[in-house]
Every structure is written in structure tokens, then in C-alpha cells.
Amino acid sequence: MENNEKYIPFLPLFEKLDEMLKNGSVVLAIDGGSASGKTTLSGILNEIYGCTVLHTDDFFLRPEQRTPERYAEVGGNLDRERFLEEVLRPLKRNETINYRRFDCATFTISPFTEIKPEKLTVIEGAYSMHPTLAEYYDLAVFLDISPELQRERILKRNSAEEAERFFSKWIPLEREYFSKMHVGQRCDMIIKIENE
């Protein structure tokens, strides 16, 4: 894909953001399946708008939260409580964010990081549009990737063992969340992700 062509699928989003940013700050959610390009899109937005980007991957469940009951909840594998407390509620009040990243290597929470949000704040990651979080966004986008392209991308960027974990565990949980919580339908915009 030519460098400039990477922007083409997102032109309607840029147009909408330009319009909204004239009237104040914007909190944007980007949800979608694994390998749909959420991190890539947030990087493009950062490049264009110089925005604040936060990742739901920094809010994996802490060890003590990883119970069968919690995993049985649709969308239960995100620490929504901490995400609300440390990110979304302060954002809504126009306050500085103090949040802690979850470290997947050590299963611990890092010390607080202080962030003064820019005019545009992007929250990217699966489960960002969980119903308990959705009211905090001004705009929400769903990246719709086909199962075939998703599989191709996951195999390309992961070891066989890591890819299998996506196919057997994470993707089924995501699909259940998308389906039962009508995530795409609740977003303001659906962007179809095509082959590179």
C-alpha cells in the first residue's frame, strides 16, 4: 500500500473529527477485533492530530480478578473498573489522567503515569465500547475485519503458539462481546478493513 493510500479508508473519520474538534475536545473510541488495525489507526491519528492515545491492553485483569465468574461475563476480561476510575472519569471532568499500565510480563501494575490530555484523546482497543464505558465517548468507530484477513495478519505477526491462543481463546471472546453487546451497531462509524 502506498504511503498516502493508508489514509483513504479513514477519510470520513478525519472529516468528522475535524468538524467536532472545531467545537471543543473529543474523546474517540476505536474498537474492533484482534489485528483489525486499531493501534495502526491510533498511530495515524497521532501523526495527524498530535492526540493523546491510550490502550485498553494496559488494563488487562489483575491476577486476583481472573476468576471463572469474571471470565464468564461478556467482555469481562478488561479491568473496566480501573479504566473508568483512572482514565474515563478524569477525562470527562477535563482533569489530568493518572493511570497505571498492566505489565503482561510480570502480571503487575506499573507506577502511575501522568498525562495531560490533548484536544483529541483516542482510546483504542477491544472492549473499549463495553456498555459501562460507552457513555464517556464523543465518537466511536468499529474496525470490521474479515475472519480470513484477521487470521492472515495474526499468523504473520505472531509465533504459531501465540497465534493459536488468539484463535482458541481471545477471538471467540471478542466475537461473543461484539455479538451480544451489538458493538458495531452502537458505534457511530464502521470502517471496513481490506487487504493491504
Phi/psi at 181 (5° precision): -105, 10
Does residue 140 contact residue 31 with C-beta atoms inside 8 Å? Answer: yes
Beta bridge partners of 142: 31, 190
Does residue 171 contact residue 34 with C-beta atoms inside 8 Å? Answer: yes
CATH class of the domain whose range is 4-193: alpha beta
Beta bridge partners of 187: none
Sequential DSSP letters for 123-141: EESTTTT-TTTGGG-SEEE
For residue 18, which of 128, 120, 92, 124 has the smallest C-alpha distance? 120
98, with CB counted inside 10 A (0-12, 13-18, 19+), is middle
Report the pLDDT value the prediction gives residue 195, as an integer from 0 to 100: 72
Beta bridge partners of 78: 60
The C-alpha cell that represents 62 in the structure block: 489483575
Does residue 98 contact residue 86 with C-beta atoms inside 8 Å? Answer: yes
The C-alpha cell that represents 46 in the structure block: 497521532
Q: Give mean pLDDT in consecutive 10-residue pieces for the chain, a chain of 196 residues.
A: 78 97 97 96 96 95 93 92 96 94 90 94 97 97 96 95 93 95 97 84
For residue 97, which of 85, 118, 115, 112 has the smallest C-alpha distance? 115
Report the pLDDT value the prediction gives residue 1, as an integer from 0 to 100: 45
100, with CB counted inside 10 A (0-12, 13-18, 19+), is middle
Is this prediction's pTM over 0.85? yes
C-alpha 191/C-alpha 129 separation (Å) is 15
Would you list the domain boundaries of the chain? 4-193
Half-sphere exposure at residue 36, Cβ-oriented, CA atoms within 13 angstroms = 24
